[in-house]
Amino acid sequence: MLSRVAATDAYLNVVLDTVLDESPPDDPRDAGLVTELCYGATRRQLTLDAVLMKFADRGLDAIEDRVLAALRLGVYQLFFMRVPKHAAVGETVDALKAAGVERAAGFVNAILRKVSALEALPAAEGDDVAKLEFETSHPAWLVKRWIRQFGPERARTMLHADNDAPSVVIRTNTSKLTRDELLAQFADAGVACRPTTLSPLGVVLENPGRVEELYGYAEGLWQVQDEAAQLVGVFAQVPPNARVLDACAAPGGKACHLAQSNDVIAIDVHANKLPKIQSEAKRLGLLERLKTQRVDASKELPSELGEFDVVMVDAPCAGLGTLRRHPELRYRRQEKDLGPLAHLQREILEQCQQVVKPGGLLVYAVCSTDAMEGADQIEMFLRSHPDFTTEPPRGLDALPTWQGHLRTLPGPEGLDGFFAARLRKMY
């Protein structure tokens, strides 16, 4: 799985879910172990590689994907898991043999034995940026950028939080029941859970296992959605029975959230992602209120769509606020990606603002921590569109806001990083 993620643009969570579905382990606890190994080795990849480079007799880019994945798994177990050293080395070598790469067993065994002789993880070296890069396994450009935007202490908190395993959070399907009713039914069914702190719709599941097997999934009583993503829908404060366009709808969490009390047209440029949205809407009992269509929101929108009371632009972005859930992104993203993404976001905003009714709302959101994709983007939009103005929601003072916009950051609160702006079209 790790070598497949490294060699392609696949997301770790998708590969992991697919493999575990196709080849479920006999003991469910093994699925948890596999998940910890894959996510842990990916989150700590830069740290693991720095250790390996001290002992390898060749550059890591010269090592075959599966062999390098085995080395990372071995080093991760040695320093970040309670696995006896001999087991971490021996099981990793045996697994490599089982994977059909026996020729590299001696090479891997030799390196892991040298690493296992260390009493602890080597101390970080260099300046503050280099130390944080090693300690938190984030690329130097991102470390520098977060220090510049948030200050050294908050940046350090964010970097360390990205290496914590995220909780499984669900959103109550309020078209069927309230959160209090869902919590009561979970209690009757023996499901360990607690309400989220900020979202009035969220529930944190404790050790849920396969969510598809949990109470209420088949009945469509809830949908998996991170608390910060839920807050975007709460912050939007869409009035009931509004006509809503979700302009970049995949994977569909926000579209389904809005469809719980509104009529939603969910569009996306990727036609292959629309069936998943339809499937979730069907499970949740929202098909009558949620329709999908393949449309590129960065181009002129079809006239037959008409105008909308609310347009949600959950724009494509660098995803820098979701590095806990998608740790592979921190190694794929580069600073030079931000400019083209910001340009795409501007194109989408420009097309979508045209279909907002006078007096209607334009809600812009990104799962990113970066100002270029968030506050700076909105400032530029407002300069060129005097018919729009920022309008924070009413009665939601408990939400984490900044300059009237929703902003959540990775940290001890356990939230992903999101930005959202609520803009009123005045005429």
Annotated active-site residue 367? The verdict is: yes
Q: Over the chain, what HEC string results?
A: CHHHHHHCCCCHHHHHHHHHHHCCCCCHHHHHHHHHHHHHHHHCHHHHHHHHHCCCCCCHHHCCHHHHHHHHHHHHHHHHCCCCHHHHHHHHHHHHHHCCCHHHHHHHHHHHHHHHCCCCCCCCCCCHHHHHHHHHCCCHHHHHHHHHHHCHHHHHHHHHHCCCCCCEEEEECCCCCCHHHHHHHHHHHCCCEEECCCCCCEEEECCCCCHHHCCCCCCCCEEECCHHHHHHHHHHCCCCCCEEEECCCCCCHHHHHHHCCCEEEEEECCHHHHHHHHHHHHHCCCCCCEEEEECCCCCCCCHHHCCEEEEEEECCCCCCCCCCCCCCHHHHCCHHHHHHHHHHHHHHHHHHHCCEEEEEEEEEEECCCCCCCCHHHHHHHHHHCCCEEECCCCCCCCCCEECCEEEECCCCCCCCCEEEEEEEECC
Catalytic residue among 38, 248, 317, 367: 367
Q: Which two tokens stand for residue 9?
A: 């643009």
* Dist. CA 159–CA 369, nearest whole Å: 12
Q: Which residues are catalytic?
A: 367
